[in-house]
């Protein structure tokens, strides 16, 4: 059995993918998390989770006790304007705690840039974090990565949204900056293999993919991967502030984060030497086109392990009903959560009976009208009905849907087969809340096909919002009614 390894930032994009690969390599893994509940359900057998925060020095001692190497994958950019100060404090606290605990080595993943006065605050903070960690007695392996391409990564999602949604793009001059994009699989290979290469200790290693490209060339490469025709024109008048508003409008990236990213991409991000190849000759990073192909395939096959977006917070379940509209793993997602005074079996029974002769519980005439429009467009319409009034199985038709997953009493996922400018799913999850109540988690997911798909979603969203809200409430009422009917019948026996 290998030594125990600590992973900070396990709820993040890279950390969440690193943990299972360390487990596959035979290492014992401990994770540091401010909210351990965010790591529940990951299927990481044997992983120890310790509550703690790099900004709380007292919480680091139990996390670092008995640890050999420790991964530092913490970044505070999404927490607000003071993130640079938080990054400095967190790195200093971790450096001192690691020294006291006798940690053998710290492995840190930062940004690829070269120190000069033109660096953005974001890149400067990434370099400064590495400097603070290296100032302590514990040896540090610092990897500096350029743009990371992978399904759900922030850089990939920006590229994907811009390219998918804008057939003709008027872009600022920063799309001509050079970078060396690297696939997430290669990044993870470096991070894991560092444990097997003691000579990487105490070194700064720049890692990048096989190609040096401009951001414009990356977007055009993505377009080729997806079979899209795109044109990109550059103009000199878009300032970082204006560009951030533009990114915030077209992509799911918040404007504040977008501005930090744009400030960073104005600087070239290219490896200055071959140190990675010298230390890790067995790793040969794939070209940009292959990294993009892998990312797109993961999206299409719904194999996205982690995403840059923050996970849903359990604190938001304090209300009886909650509604969320967000971008997630490349999809537009409208999620509704409703707490119902009925056991999961009754709730799932109501969910599984949707469609066919049973109708759609709420605004059924609108569902039928949508089916009629689909028929006019050459689609399947509502005439297929369903095979059985209450039972389903994967592959069954339900009006203009197809059952993609049916796992009683917890999951029903329907895939749309009507004519659409994209792909759509309607998903229901049922989760117990005590012995006699449940949560219904209803999600409408849409993968838009270009700008037409985006316009379709937002044009119809006011109507969809009414329908989806009424649907989840109607399911809840039917489940409660079925539960009461069952109780009355039992009493009469």
CATH 3.30.530.20-classified regions of the chain: 316-492
CA count, 13 A, side-chain hemisphere, 313: 7
Q: Which residues pair with 406 in a beta bridge?
A: 412
For every residue of 43-90, DSSP letters joined together read: --TT-EEEE--TT-GGGHHHHHTT-SEEEE----GGG-TTHHHHHHHH
CATH 3.40.50.720-classified regions of the chain: 4-300
Strands 397-398 and 331-340: unpaired
**What distance in Å separates the CA atoms of residue 292 and residue 278, rounded to the nearest whole number?**
26
Identify the CA nearest to 218 among candidates 150, 153, 288: 288
CATH code linked to domain 4-300: 3.40.50.720
CATH code linked to domain 316-492: 3.30.530.20
Output the CA angle 277-280-284, nearest 5 degrees: 65
**What distance in Å separates the CA atoms of residue 481 and residue 479, rounded to the nearest whole number?**
5
- Residues in Cβ contact with 411 at an 8 Å cutoff, skipping those fewer than 6 apart: 405, 427, 428, 429, 430
Identify the CA nearest to 137 among candidates 88, 196, 202, 53: 202
Q: Which residues pair with 89 in a beta bridge?
A: none
Per-residue pLDDT of the chain (493 residues; tens, 9 = 90+): 578 999 999 988 899 999 999 999 999 999 999 878 778 778 898 899 999 999 999 999 999 999 999 999 998 765 556 778 889 999 999 999 999 999 999 999 999 887 665 777 778 888 999 999 999 999 999 999 999 999 888 888 888 888 888 888 888 777 888 999 999 999 999 999 999 999 999 999 999 999 999 999 999 999 999 998 999 888 876 666 666 666 666 776 666 666 777 777 778 889 987 789 999 999 999 999 999 999 999 887 777 777 765 433 333 333 444 666 666 656 788 889 999 999 999 999 999 999 999 999 999 999 999 999 988 888 888 888 898 999 999 999 999 999 999 999 999 999 999 999 989 999 999 998 877 889 999 999 998 877 788 888 888 888 898 999 999 999 999 999 987 654 433 333 2
Strands 148-149 and 69-72: unpaired
């Amino acid at each position: 059995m290998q030594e125990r390894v600590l992973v900070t930032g396990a709820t993040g994009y890279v950390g969440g993918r690193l943990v299972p690969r360390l487990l596959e390599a035979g290492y014992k893994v401990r994770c540091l998390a401010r909210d351990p509940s965010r790591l529940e359900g990951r299927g990481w057998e044997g992983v120890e989770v310790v509550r703690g925060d790099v900004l709380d020095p007292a919480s680091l001692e139990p996390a670092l006790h008995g640890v050999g190497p420790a991964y530092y994958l913490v970044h505070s950019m999404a927490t607000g304007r003071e993130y640079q100060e938080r990054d400095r404090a967190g790195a200093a606290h971790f450096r001192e705690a690691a020294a006291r605990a006798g940690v053998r080595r710290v492995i840190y993943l930062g940004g690829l840039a070269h120190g000069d006065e033109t660096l953005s605050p974001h890149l400067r903070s990434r370099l400064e974090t590495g400097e603070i960690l290296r100032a302590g007695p514990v040896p540090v392996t610092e990897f500096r990565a350029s743009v990371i391409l992978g399904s759900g990564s922030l850089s990939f999602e920006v590229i994907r949204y811009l390219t998918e949604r804008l057939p003709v793009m008027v872009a600022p001059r920063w799309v001509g900056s050079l970078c060396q994009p690297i696939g997430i699989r290669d990044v993870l290979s470096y991070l894991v293999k560092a444990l097997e290469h003691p000579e990487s200790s105490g070194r700064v290693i720049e890692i990048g993919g096989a190609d040096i490209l401009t951001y414009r060339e990356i977007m055009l490469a993505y377009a080729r991967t997806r079979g899209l025709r795109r044109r990109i024109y550059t103009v000199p008048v878009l300032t970082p502030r204006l560009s951030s508003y533009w990114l915030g409008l077209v992509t799911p990236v918040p404007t504040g984060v977008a501005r930090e990213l744009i400030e960073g991409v104005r600087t070239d991000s290219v490896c200055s030497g071959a140190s990675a190849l010298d230390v890790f000759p067995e790793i040969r990073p794939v070209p940009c086109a292959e990294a993009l192909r892998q990312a797109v395939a993961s999206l299409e096959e719904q194999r996205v392990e982690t995403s840059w977006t923050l996970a849903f917070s359990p604190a938001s379940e304090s209300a009886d009903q909650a509604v969320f509209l967000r971008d997630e793993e490349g999809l537009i997602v409208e999620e509704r959560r409703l707490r119902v005074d009925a056991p999961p079996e009754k709730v799932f029974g109501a969910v599984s009976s949707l469609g066919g002769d049973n109708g759609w519980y709420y605004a059924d005439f609108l569902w039928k009208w949508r089916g009629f429009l689909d028929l006019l467009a050459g689609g399947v319409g509502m005439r297929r009905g369903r095979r059985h009034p209450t039972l389903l199985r994967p592959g069954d038709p339900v009006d203009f849907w197809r059952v993609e997953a049916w796992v009683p009493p917890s999951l029903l996922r329907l895939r749309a087969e009507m004519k659409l400018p994209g792909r759509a799913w309607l998903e229901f999850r049922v989760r117990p809340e005590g012995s006699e109540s449940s949560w219904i988690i209803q999600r409408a997911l849409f993968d838009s096909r270009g700008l037409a798909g985006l316009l379709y979603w937002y044009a119809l969203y006011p109507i969809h919002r009414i329908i989806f809200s009424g649907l989840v409430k109607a399911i809840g009422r039917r489940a409660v009614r079925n539960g009461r009917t069952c109780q009355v019948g039992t009493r009469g026996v």
